[in-house]
A and B are shown apart, each in its own frame.
Chain A
Amino acid sequence: MATLTLDPPSTDTGSPVNRGRAGRRSGLHMVGRVLLYAVMLVAAAAILVPFVWMVTSSLKNNTQVFTVPIQWLPDPVVWQNYLDIWTKANMTTWLRNTLLLSVVITFLQVLTGSFAAYGFSKIRFPGRDVLFLAYVGTIAVPWQAYMIPQFILMSRFELSNTLWAMIALQAFGAFGVFLMKQYYESIPEELSEAARIDGLSEYGIWRRVVLPLSGPAVASLSLLTFVNVWNDYLGPLIYLRSPEIWTIQIGLKSLVSQYNAEYALIMTGSVLSVLPIAIIFMLGQRYFVQGIATTGVKG
């Protein structure tokens, strides 16, 4: 790995120094690149094996999903599952609920998380570090241990068996605060100081200086929150009873009944539920480009 160039992308082509060196090494560079691609493609294929199995299983009859030895290719190919998932199962409802929750929770988590993170990282006040430790500390407590007390509280607020329960549960997580705080700490303090001298309030600094520089952090927090809500199983299992508010994960689990399970249909639903995330990821990852923070420093 040490032989790889560690240059960030934006500087790769810029200076003449670079270009000259690139020219001298280009032959070697080509071979290296081809090798690198070969290795990466093989690795990618290996990483995708379980996903490939999911896809092929979704095209099988139910009894062909688990066999000895593994049957990698469906025979015959059963497209019916992709129709049944909409008719036999209530995929439309599940998808709508999951999407609603993911969007609302992600929005709230990013908003409140980044706001709180500013307080934790840029303003010093008594009790701050202890409070922050309490935030991080709760992450360290396994949820299944305080699930029942929390459920009782939530029921007292009449929130259980509503989608609000999931929002209350996940929108104010400590994870987002921690992530954003760490990112803010890598933003040079000179920027906020300059803005302060210009007469901007702390809220103004957050809104106009710090937040615009946090693109990559906001992007990764959004993605991770979205994915976690999308794939959460235990939370909806405990809080959502009525079938009309089920999410994809518990909806799919309902295809496992006491004496039988619709494995092929479950895999069909799983494939369908992964695709939106993959697309969102593909779109979101372009925010991970060098330069957002630095243009700020220069400007």
Chain B
Amino acid sequence: MRRTTKAGVAVLAGAMLVLAGCSDDGGGSGGSNGGGEGGSTDLVLAGWSLSTTPEFQVLVDGFTEQNPEVSISVLEYDAANYDTQLTADLAAGSAPDLYPLKTVTTLPTYQEGGQLVDVSDVASELSGDILGVDAYAVDGATYAIPYRQDAWFLYYNVDLFEQAGVEIPDGTWTWDDYVAASMALQEGLAGTEAKATYQHGWTSLVTGFANAQAGSDEEFLAADWEYMVPFYERAMELQEAGAQESYGTVTTNSLTYQGQFGTQKVAMMPMGSWYVATLLAQQESGDADTFGWSFAPMPQLDDSTLDAPITQGNPTAIGINAAIDEDKLDAAKEFLAYIGSEEAASELAAIGIMPAYTTEAVAEVMFGLEGVPTDDVARTAFSSQQPVPEAPVNSGTPPLQTILDDAHSEIMTGNISPAEGIAAAIARAQDEVLG
């Protein structure tokens, strides 16, 4: 018995040494494609859903064309479990040299964990037209370079608006106008299968807009969330009036937003800019109907922000693994400089992705794509909207988000009123996170 205990302790001690080892040696980053020899460098970049997410290969191809001495292979991760897989790889020291931060709010995790190289020198060389770089700065140092910047639009189905006899969005809507239009649409579409608008199940569909338009980082992090209440009240009003599918139906029937808007079940839908490319592809493949559609800026709190409408939208950036081999670092930084260039932006726009680098030229590429709506309101939405991340980029954010997710499902299913639900969430945040 005593001997077994001793053996156990020995085994455990050995294991701890093995574990500790990984924080010491630091090296041995993924792919183990030896670099530097003969002037050529091999890098590995993490990506996800490669067959349907061409952006990584587009960036790699564009870069290696200019830098033939560098080769970059893309390693596929699971789209939904990217951070779980990446965490495991980083912890084991086997992660790729370059990895995207799929969600901007995960930056503190990797940065505070010492897993990102300081790339301030790359950032300082970038043109001023890049959106979202600030989000990746911690204490004055930049840790990743954004290549895309999504923004949320209000998509609408021109045919259904016509059928209902309602004016299409003109780019000057406030949330009150949005609610009024929804009610009018619901009346006009009575007797058909279509509903006025669609709100997908994600928490950010309410809290993201509330944070961007009515809140501030300070309020969010202090859990002063009363500003979210009117946003929830509006959502509930639409839901109770039947102008949008109830949250319960959306979740219990696993509704997809692509199916709802793409097969003309709804006249309007707030959704991210990525949906433009998806919708075009689905209309091409027959997964979506063919109908007239466009997008407008998101409704605003009041008239004051109509010139530069505020919306939510996360940047996506790529950072360098802190465990990268010394001799590969320069090549990796060059790649980051490339993804922040106007050239890369045009390549991305050509596949329907909103790049972080925004100029008139880039916008022209985007609107030159076949099928992309080219009306003035859509151009305004693309060019003048100010996207704000759905939540502050701060290490305090994740636990608060968890609490808001819980509150979201409880409020939207009607188990608790918006005011009480937010009050309960605030109390919980004070008690468990901030207290």
Residues of A at under 8 Å CB distance from B?
61-63, 65-68, 70, 126-127, 130-131, 147-149, 151-156, 160-161, 237-238, 241, 243, 250, 253-254, 256-261, 263
Contacts and interface: CB of A to CB of B under 8 A. Distances in A.
A160 B92 contact: yes
A68 B262 contact: no
A257 B52 contact: yes
A148 B84 CA distance: 10
A160 B18 CA distance: 15
B406 interface: no
Given A148-B91, A156-B18, A254-B78, A66 B49 contact: no
A74 to B, nearest CB: 15
Interface string B1-43: 1001000000000010011011000000000000000000000
A133 B84 CA distance: 31
Nearest to B246: A68
A260 B4 contact: no
A166 B245 CA distance: 43
B227 interface: no
A164 to B, nearest CB: 15
A238 B78 CA distance: 10
Interface in B62-91: 75-81, 84-85, 87-89, 91
Given A156-B22, A254-B49, A257-B48, 4 more contacts: A131-B4, A155-B94, A237-B78, A259-B275
Nearest to A147: B88
Contacts of A237: 78, 81, 84-85
Contacts of A127: 1, 4
Contacts of A155: 22, 92-94
B288 interface: yes
B413 interface: no
A257 B15 contact: no
A155 B90 CA distance: 11
A238 B84 contact: yes
A66 B256 contact: yes
A260 B79 CA distance: 11
B255 interface: yes
A68 B77 CA distance: 32
A257 B259 contact: no
A13 to B, nearest CB: 50
Interface in B85-127: 85, 87-89, 91-94
A58 to B, nearest CB: 16
**Nearest 7 pairs of A and B residues by beta carbon:** A257-B49, A155-B92, A257-B52, A258-B79, A63-B259, A151-B88, A152-B92
